Amino acid sequence: MSETLLSVGDLRVHFPLRRAMPFAPRRTVRAVDGVSFDVAPGTTFGIVGESGSGKTTIALAVMRLTDITGGRVALGGDELSALHGERLRAARKRVQMIFQDPYSSLNPRMRAGAIVEEPMQLMGLEDDAGRKARARELFTQVGLREDQLQLFPHQFSGGQRQRIGIARALATKPELVVCDEPVSALDVAIQAQILNLLTELQRQYGLTYLFISHDLGVVQYLCDEIAVMYLGRIVEQATREALFENPLHPYTWALLSAVPRLGRRRRGAASRIRLEGDPPSPINPPAGCRFSTRCPFAEARCRSEEPPLREVHAGHRIACHLVGEGGAVPHRPGLD
Amino acid sequence: MAEERARGPWGEAWSVFGRNYAALVGLGLLALVAAMVLVGPLVYGVDPFEIVGAPKMGPGIEPDAPFGTDYLGRDVLAGLLKGGRPTLIVGICAALITTIIGITIGSLGGFYGGAVDGALGRVTEFFQVLPALLFAMVLITLFTPSLLTVTLAIGVVAWTGMARLTRAEFLRIKQLEFVRAARSIGASNARIIWRVILPNALPPIIVSATLATGTAILFEAGLSFLGLSDPNVMSWGMMIGSNRNYLREAWWAVTFPGVCIFITVLAISLVGDGLNDAFNPKLRTR
Amino acid sequence: MDSLLELEHLEVEFDTWDGRVRVLDGVSFSLAAGETLGIVGESGCGKSMTALAIMGLVPTPAGHITGGSIRFAGEDLVRAPQARLRQLRGNRIAMIFQEPMTSLNPVFTVGEQIAEAAREHLGLSGTESRHRSVEMLRAVHIPEAEKRVDEYPHQFSGGMRQRVMIAMALACEPQVLIADEPTTALDVTVQAQIFDLLQELRETKGTAIVLITHDMGAIAEMTDRVIVMYAGRRVEEGAVEDILDRPAHPYTRGLLACRPQLQLGKGAVRPALREIPGVVPPLHLLGRGCAFAERCPDAMPRCRDERPVETVVRAGHAAACWLLDERREAA
């Protein structure tokens, strides 16, 4: 990779659980368990996975909104994971976040304008007049009207609220914007408006996005490079073209084939890998390959030995024993 | 498209409150009581401790004492007008004390969680299991009965509900995304507690504080009834307390202050319920 | 075609702070045994209200059915007494909801909850109904059904709870199952399992399904026929092929184009995306014309003044849009 803005190395985030009984062994949720990736400036890096895969925890760890158990997060060479106190607070203007739920991510008792100005105020950017001017400018950029600055969040629709959230995230001119499922709480027809706004803003201001989503269609639309997560680990990582043309990991394949598509009429089940059950709990991840309990191709080796994430093509990394060198896959390749 | 107005959540609540007749009646009664207590003594200058006539004189007999006299011959009307002020002051101040203690303990426990919450939770439980009236009586008798000690005693025994309410609100609001958003833009813990979470937790706290005022007034009346009030200050509770032995012969000396307390507490409850509905518009039915 | 459930010009009105609004305005469809009908639209379009009206669960006192009919096996449910609706509900017509986390009662075992419907409607005894519960859990592919029947909802995962919901709904072998966004809260691999399960039940038991969704992909995979709703009105109806391949209403075209559709395999490119501008108008501000006119890329002056009448495009495919009228006149 040429240039790197965000570099995540062997990131681990574990949450200790309360003991079930006094003196019972303390259990740990291994939400993120050894994840590494790099994001180039001006690109969008997507992380997809189902609930419990740890994708949102990665977003929170990069934002330093959750404690990091191990590993490092570096932004443009500065180690965010090593900062504390005032230096961490000052660094926050470089990484901002767009949240999932536009209904709970805005303080209902603040006016829209104040919400957008607050980050600048806390970071000590600009004077009062400058902040007001910047808030007006941001409002126009995200497709809201200046006269709406005086309104309260409940006077906006869901899509408009998400626009306010985007304006707030851009207020400090961050280098990296972390988007945590920014459209999944919105109505279908509104999602496209927000996705188009995000791509437009990226084109205009050269933004870098870390994009967390469970929606593979959205990820394909927006992301340049994608990591697929399962139970706290990356199982496959590739460019958009490679991932959707030629998915290698059985889990990626199952995930992609599970998405309902317009072309598949009435009986879709025939063309799917059918996964039984739900993902196992990240409290006691299975031994060996974490996907082995649901993988239709799993062998004895998969249940005992954890496959490392290795590169099979240039830029295409995968963690599966069954994929041969050069990307020979265990499953039927053809996806319609 | 309809004209959009920048009406905030408080303005919204006020307009709902304005459509609630029961609450408006409560507000009206409260204004009446306040006028009577604030303006009354200025207009009607009789000293409530002064003996103005024969004892146990019924209302309407003597024009000088239209509400009658008590067992010592003191003017009941003067007592009603003058005795409202300490009653209300004790009620409001005690409610303020419970609110301040409750918010402090509840917000710190709810926000920090863990060991802080554990410790504060134990303290709250300790005060909760104490029999409130007995504890207040002990406090008042330890220090001589005065307006200040009565107010403090009520405040100190009554804050646990407020602390639990505040803690619950903090626990709920803490996990909303805008709190996370505030942290991600570098807000300090103090700012998150006071400027982000607390304003959102205020509606139920205000309702509860309003109702606490009513409770404190009743508590004060109860203590006075037991003789634990400032003997130098006329209050409704003290009127009831000192005249209770003569209820058969001079019912008016007990009934009128009782009615005053009843109306005041009722009005406060109506306003409190109205505020509650106004702050939770989802619960209201048509 | 014999229709099992038939809605004709159903109208539901609600009293709100902004006055009385019509949340369903002349909704019609018919559903045959063993058929799957999709109802698609944005939130607030009346999809869920249609389901509640069929179940006789329009929230009172604010809501009223003010016109039209709902015929189930020939019987008009709008005029049926509450007692009759209770007999049908959960027995002949059943419903599953979006939120499997909150739709189960946490203080009863799943077995008790499934058995309740069976006892109520089929008059089964305690042992028989327990038997039935186990049988139903097996039918929805819950492993170790004999053991899990005695567990509580919190011991089940999200996907498993939705299976329990389906087991409850199917305990009395209903003829119609209404599924209101049954997989919205679930992961995509679990959604696929639930869809497979619904397909299987339809094939083995002949249950007719009304699937309410906002996802055109789910419509494609699951349904035979589709109605598209907007602001309480039916704007298009047709076979699934008509709706997906030859949509006649601009709103249907918008719904199809506004979500990035996954492209897979050789030559997979970035999917196209076309947004529908604006938002659904508040129902009390709807004008005389077409409800979609404000957001429609092809709106004509006529669309704002006159409500479009439904035009038959081809057999079984109709849409309410003036553009079709224009085109027909031009032809």
Q: What is the CATH number of the domain that holds B219?
A: 1.10.3720.10
Identify whether B136 is part of a domain: yes
Which whole number is the average pLDDT over C72-84?
91
Does residue B211 or residue A47 have the better pLDDT?
A47
| Long-range contacts of residues C161-164, Cβ cutoff 8 Å, at least 24 apart | C161/C100, C161/C101, C161/C103, C161/C104, C162/C96, C162/C100, C162/C186, C162/C190, C162/C194, C163/C137, C163/C194, C163/C197, C164/C100, C164/C104, C164/C110, C164/C113, C164/C114, C164/C137, C164/C140
pLDDT of the residue at A72: 94
Pairing mode, if any, of strands A316-318 and C75-76? unpaired
Residue B73 banded pLDDT, cuts 50, 70, 90: confident
Distance, CA of A234 to CA of A71 (rounded, Å): 15
Alpha-carbon distances, residue A95 vs A5, A170, A173, B184, B185 (angstroms): 11, 9, 9, 8, 9
> Are A279 and A194 in the same domain?
no
Distance, CA of B35 to CA of B146 (rounded, Å): 25
Which whole number is the average pLDDT over A136-148?
93
> Are A278 and A159 in the same domain?
no
pLDDT of the residue at B100: 94
Strand pairing partners for A212? A47, A180
Residue C290 banded pLDDT, cuts 50, 70, 90: very high
Cα-Cα-Cα-Cα dihedral sign, residues C36, C37, C41, C44: negative
**Residue B51 near residue B65, CB atoms below 8 Å:** no
Q: What is the CA radius of gyration of chain C?
A: 21
Identify whether B15 is part of a domain: no
pLDDT of the residue at B6: 59
Q: Do C285 and B286 touch (CB under 8 A)?
A: no
Chain C touched by B286 (CB under 8 Å) = yes
Which whole number is the average pLDDT over B36-62?
77
CA B192 remoteness from chain centre? 29
Residue C230 banded pLDDT, cuts 50, 70, 90: very high
Alpha-carbon distances, residue B121 vs B114, B126, B132, B153, B162 (angstroms): 10, 9, 18, 21, 13
Pairing mode, if any, of strands A70-75 and A78-79? antiparallel
Q: Which among B1, B2, B286 has CB closest to C62? A: B286
Give percent of chain A with pLDDT exceeding 90. 64
Distance, CA of A97 to CA of A120 (rounded, Å): 14
Query: For the residues of C264-330, what is the DSSP string, one character each?
Result: -STT--PPP--PPPS-PPPGGG--SS-TTGGG-TT--HHHHHSPPPEEEEETTEEEE-HHHHHHHHH
Q: For chain C, give every residue range classified as CATH 3.40.50.300.
A: 1-92+177-259
Q: pLDDT tens digits for C196-228? A: 888 888 888 889 999 999 999 999 999 999 999
Q: What would the two tokens of residue A276 be? A: 């039984």
Identify whether A118 is part of a domain: yes
Instruction: Please determine, for residue A143, whether its predicted confidence score (pLDDT) is greater than 70.
Output: yes
Identify whether B22 is part of a domain: no
Q: If you average pLDDT over every residue of chain B, what do you get?
A: 83
Q: Do A109 and B199 touch (CB under 8 A)?
A: yes
Q: pLDDT tens digits for C308-329? A: 999 999 999 999 999 988 777 7
Q: Do A65 and B199 touch (CB under 8 A)?
A: no
Q: What would the two tokens of residue A14 be? A: 């574990």
Does residue A114 or residue C201 have the better pLDDT?
A114
Q: What's the structural domain count of chain B? A: 1
> Are A277 and A130 in the same domain?
no
Of A223, A238, A260, at which residue does a domain stop?
A: A223
pLDDT of the residue at A335: 52
Top residue of A220, A222, A276 to mutate, by most chain C CBs within 10 Å, is A220
Instruction: Please determine, for residue B284, whether its predicted confidence score (pLDDT) is greater than 60.
Output: no
**Residue B139 near residue B153, CB atoms below 8 Å:** yes
Chain B touched by A121 (CB under 8 Å) = no
Identify whether B9 is part of a domain: no
Which whole number is the average pLDDT over A63-81?
92
In eight-state DSSP terms, residue B284 is -
pLDDT of the residue at B1: 35
Which whole number is the average pLDDT over A135-160?
92
Q: Do C61 and B286 touch (CB under 8 A)?
A: yes
Give percent of chain A with pLDDT exceeding 70. 93
Identify whether A235 is part of a domain: no
Q: Strand runs (DSSP E) across chain A, as ranges?
A: 6-16, 28-39, 44-48, 70-75, 78-79, 95-98, 176-180, 208-213, 225-230, 233-239, 310-313, 316-318
Identify whether A243 is part of a domain: no
Distance, CA of A15 to CA of A19 (rounded, Å): 12
Which whole number is the average pLDDT over C84-111?
86
Top residue of A110, A154, A156, A161 to mutate, by most chain B CBs within 10 Å, is A110
Which residues touch C181 (CB under 8 Å, ≥6 apart)? C48, C97, C98, C212, C213, C214
Which whole number is the average pLDDT over B29-56?
80
Residues of B in contact with A105 (CB under 8 A): 176-178, 180-181
CA A304 remoteness from chain centre? 29
Q: If you average pLDDT over every residue of chain C, what do you get?
A: 89
Q: What is the ipTM of this complex?
A: 0.86
> Are A273 and A207 in the same domain?
no
Look at residues B10, B72, B28, B29 and name the one whose alpha carbon lies nearest to residue B47. Answer: B72
Residue span of the structural domain in which A262 resides = 248-336
Residue C292 banded pLDDT, cuts 50, 70, 90: very high
Q: How many CA atoms lie within 13 A of B245 on its CB side?
A: 5
Q: Is B88 helix (H, G, I), strand (E, B) or coil?
A: helix
Distance, CA of A103 to CA of B181 (rounded, Å): 13
Identify whether B104 is part of a domain: yes
Chain C touched by A270 (CB under 8 Å) = no
Does residue B216 or residue B51 have the better pLDDT?
B216
Distance, CA of C122 to CA of C128 (rounded, Å): 10
Which whole number is the average pLDDT over B55-76?
75
Strand pairing partners for C72? C5, C75
Residue B2 banded pLDDT, cuts 50, 70, 90: very low
Distance, CA of A155 to CA of B8 (rounded, Å): 9
Q: Which among A159, A191, A220 has CB closest to C279? A: A159
Chain A touched by B13 (CB under 8 Å) = no
Instruction: Please determine, for residue C40, whether its predicted confidence score (pLDDT) is greater than 90.
Output: yes
Instruction: Please determine, for residue C132, whether its predicted confidence score (pLDDT) is greater than 70.
Output: yes
In this complex, the chains that touch B, judged by 3 or more CB pairs closer than 8 A, are: A, C
Q: What's the structural domain count of chain A? A: 2
Q: Which among C199, C256, C263 has CB closest to A220? A: C263
Q: pLDDT tens digits for A200-237? A: 999 999 999 999 999 999 999 999 999 999 999 999 99
Does residue C21 or residue B51 have the better pLDDT?
C21
Residues of B in contact with C61 (CB under 8 A): 286
Pairing mode, if any, of strands A233-239 and A225-230? antiparallel
Residue span of the structural domain in which B235 resides = 32-283
Q: Which among A240, A241, A268 has CB closest to C221? A: A268
Which whole number is the average pLDDT over A39-55?
93
Distance, CA of A231 to CA of A219 (rounded, Å): 19
> Are A196 and A257 in the same domain?
no
**Stretch (H or E) spanning C16:** strand C3-16
Chain C touched by A191 (CB under 8 Å) = yes
Q: Which among A196, A244, A277 has CB closest to C275? A: A196
Domain C1-92+177-259: assigned CATH number: 3.40.50.300
pLDDT of the residue at A268: 52
Query: For the residues of A126-189, what is the DSSP string, one character each?
Result: S-HHHHHHHHHHHHHHTT--GGGGGS-GGGS-HHHHHHHHHHHHHTT--SEEEEESTTTTS-HH
**Residue A98 near residue A170, CB atoms below 8 Å:** no
